Amino acid sequence: MHMIATSFWSPDGKPISSAEFMERLFGDLPTMFKDESELRKLWSRPDTHRKLLEGLEEKGYGGEQLTELARLVDAEKSDLYDVLAYVAFALTPTSREERVRNHRASIFASYSSSQQEFLSFVLDHYVDQGVHELDEAKLPQLIELKYSTIPDAVDVLGPVAGIRDMFIGFQQHLYEASAAV
């Protein structure tokens, strides 16, 4: 039998329970964003998303703790955005697969078929691997996985700056508010 135990620690280095960790996080989140709209805006751009994660880590909420938090709230297949929205605003987490399905039409609306093919590839990686696949630093790796070389990608998708803009731009659609059902 293999068990993984994640320890939660307070900023002063003392072990704390998962409930205490959640309470601290709930108290700290309002200092990082004022409402769901601001969280959505921060999360929908790779640069501000990264800054938010860095800010969380500085406050003692690193990747391992946030992954464990996702397990605690039964949201392992959800985006970390959904975990934070759940803790801060009691919103029901959406799986990454469901998020892609719900926003695919708006994501693809302004892109050519070759761009849609690449974005579909990126979205598959996001669903399988998680939100870190949407970090701008992953773009060169994703391009090479799909097209082997950057020049091959440029032949299909256009200039590197345009590929970058597409990679950043589609994410705003991935996190836009869903229409009320």
Do 43 and 176 contact (CB within 8 A), yes or no?
no
Q: Which residue, 115, 129, 128, is CA-closest to 173?
A: 115
Mean pLDDT within 138-146? 97
Q: Is residue 140 predicted with pLDDT exceeding 50? A: yes
Residues 8 and 17: beta-carbon distance below 8 Å: yes
CA–CA dist 46, 171 (Å, integer) = 8
Q: How confident is the prediction for the chain on average, in pLDDT?
A: 90
Phi-psi map region of 176: left, alpha, beta (phi>0 left; psi -120 to 50 alpha): beta
The pLDDT value recorded for residue 24 is 86
Lowest-confidence region among 33-37, 39-43, 62-66, 153-157: 62-66
Cα torsion through 145, 151, 152, 155, rounded to 10: 140
pTM score of the predicted model: 0.87
The count of other CB atoms within 10 Å of the CB of residue 30 is 10
CA atoms within 13 A on the CB side of 32: 28
Quick: pLDDT tens for 46-92: 999 999 999 999 888 888 888 888 988 899 999 999 999 999 999 99
Residue 146: count other Cβ atoms within 10 Å of its Cβ. 17
- At 2 the pLDDT is 44
- Say how far apart CA 32 and CA 24 lie, in whole Å: 13
Domain range annotation of the chain: 8-89, 96-174
pLDDT at residue 181 in the model: 38
Q: Phi, psi (5° rounding) for residue 78?
A: -95, 165
Token pair 């998680």 in the structure block, residue: 130
Nearest in space to 156 (alpha carbons), one of 104, 109, 117: 117
